[in-house]
Amino acid sequence: MMWSNFFMQEEIRRRGAAGLRRGRGQQGSWLTPEREGKIKLALLLATVGATLAVLSVGTEFWVELNTYKANGSAVCDAAHLGLWKVCTKRLWQADVPAGRETCGPAELPGEANCTYFKFFTTGENARIFQRTTKKEVNLAAAVIAVLGLAVMALGCLSVIMVLSKGAEFLLRVGAVCFGLSGLLLLVSLEVFRHSVRALLQRVGPEPPPAPPLTYEYSWSLGCGLGAGLILLLGAGCFLGLTLPSWPWGSLCPKRGHQAA
């Protein structure tokens, strides 16, 4: 009887110590309301960047290619393309603004023909206004953009785990993911710019002759640029939340300490 009481008391003491350790661990990892609010604000900023990134990658208004209006016809041709497909349009010159020398903008109503790039499936280059794309550069821009979206999704998941489970060590992981996704999007934009220049230079020798073109970057590329910068800013905010508070306290002392 004495031994059974001893073992029961030892088991109760061991369970109590384990429960105390678990309680201390949860208390250490639990977010304060102030810190949770800062993380949510940074996540809101990153969400704006993520929305712009998805909008940019999923639309085909990265660049507009425009022919000149002075072609002796009542219609003119324009095109706009993105990472995945190209759309050519035949517009009435009466609809084009009077002070504009080239056909466009691409948002004007007209006869449109949109096709997906075949270098994702059959590996063929696309022909736009008697010019040929350089599929390696276009593929690189698309792959880098998709990688950026995947890393961005991983960053969102990490921050959500921080808010739901209190795993603050994932905050640094989220900061790295958002920063990397922003860099990948900016690199994708630069690679796409090179693909546009390669397209304009690769004029085919087959008739009819290639018409002179002008190009201008459109709103999808602007969304991608904004997304990359906002994601980098969000990464900096998350990284700042992972730093210890004592360096900032020494740089910005409280008023009470100054008065003392």
Express each pLDDT in 11-56 by its tens digit. 566 665 445 444 444 444 467 888 888 999 999 999 999 999 999 9
pLDDT at res. 181: 97
pLDDT at res. 221: 94
Note the pTM of the prediction, 2 decimals. Answer: 0.80
Least confident of 78-87, 200-209, 217-226: 200-209
Least confident of 121-130, 164-173, 213-222, 239-248: 239-248
Q: Phi and psi at residue 110, in whole multiples of 5°?
A: 180, 180
3-state class (DSSP) for residue 188: helix
Report percent pLDDT > 90 for the chain: 46
Using an 8 Å Cβ cutoff, are 189 and 225 in contact? yes
pLDDT at res. 11: 59
pLDDT at res. 9: 59
Distance of alpha carbon 79 from alpha carbon 225, whole angstroms: 21
For residue 257, is pLDDT > 80? Answer: no
Least confident of 23-32, 145-154, 175-184, 241-250: 23-32
Least confident of 45-59, 84-98, 156-170, 242-256: 242-256
Is the bond leading into 105 cis (omega within 30 degrees of zero)?
Answer: yes
pLDDT at res. 28: 41
pLDDT-derived band of residue 101, with 50, 70 and 90 as boundaries? confident
For residue 4, is pLDDT > 50? Answer: yes
pLDDT-derived band of residue 3, with 50, 70 and 90 as boundaries? very low
Q: Return all residues near 198 (Cβ < 8 A) that are at least 6 apart.
A: 133, 134, 137
